[in-house]
Amino acid sequence: MGIRQGRPASRFDLVVMVTSLGGFRSAASVLNGLPGNFPLPVILLQHGRRSDRPGQLAALLQQHTDLPVRTADHHDVASRPGVTVIPHGWTAQLDSAYRLELTPAERGAGGDLLLSSAAKAAGPRLIGVILTGLLRDGSEGVRAVKRHGGRVLVEDPVTARAGAMPSSALATGCVDFALPNTRLASALIALALAPGGAELFTVPTPAWASLGA
């Protein structure tokens, strides 16, 4: 696919973050901690109601990061460094060329579909991240990420504004690290940029983990 030309060498191709209640502050904090030259594309999905201003979330996030932030559109290729924001009320599937196919999402859903398709497309080159949120969205997605050999980080449910989504992900046994929000950016930097970081931060999947079909 040639999507890594001109970037620092990394074991990974892509970061997918899913969040819900409290997600703007949480995502803004993580993005603020990433350097402007962070090489991996980041796709962000936050639950929310569809509106006539689909670019509003991206515009607000741009105030908190040196990374370029853009709003996803149909058939965009999510391979450029920076942040691609799925508009509120939508989710997306990725194909093998990392093209986004946007589809309407039910309220409180969409993360599982995005993560599962990204896991199939990127395999072990994906980092999935579950941030604060209610309900269980993302728990099936992290199973897919781990089943395809990727890595999973979650915001520590104890410090998250809403701990249900991170807790549901943790309950699958498919999470590599649960970290306070203030440490998630450092973990992403270590995995993506530190020589040998991906191998150093390797956590065996427990025998009781539920990887799904």
66 flagged as catalytic: no
Q: What are phi and psi of 13, to 5 degrees?
A: -110, -25
The active-site residue out of 76, 112, 137, 156 is 137
Contacts with 115 (C-beta within 8 Å, 6 or more apart), sequence order: 16, 18, 128, 138, 140, 141, 142, 144, 145
C-alpha 36/C-alpha 100 separation (Å) is: 23
Kindly provide the residue ranges of all beta strands, DSSP E only, lying in 141-198, ordered along the sequence.
151-155, 177-179
The active-site residue out of 13, 29, 47, 79 is 47
What ranges in 36-155 are assigned the alpha helix state H?
56-62, 111-122, 139-147
Other C-beta atoms lying within 10 Å of the C-beta of residue 104: 9
Smallest CA-to-CA distance from 44 within 104, 120, 112, 129 is with: 129
88 flagged as catalytic: no
20 flagged as catalytic: yes
The active-site residue out of 13, 20, 29, 156 is 20
C-alpha 163/C-alpha 98 separation (Å) is: 30
Active site residues: 20, 47, 137
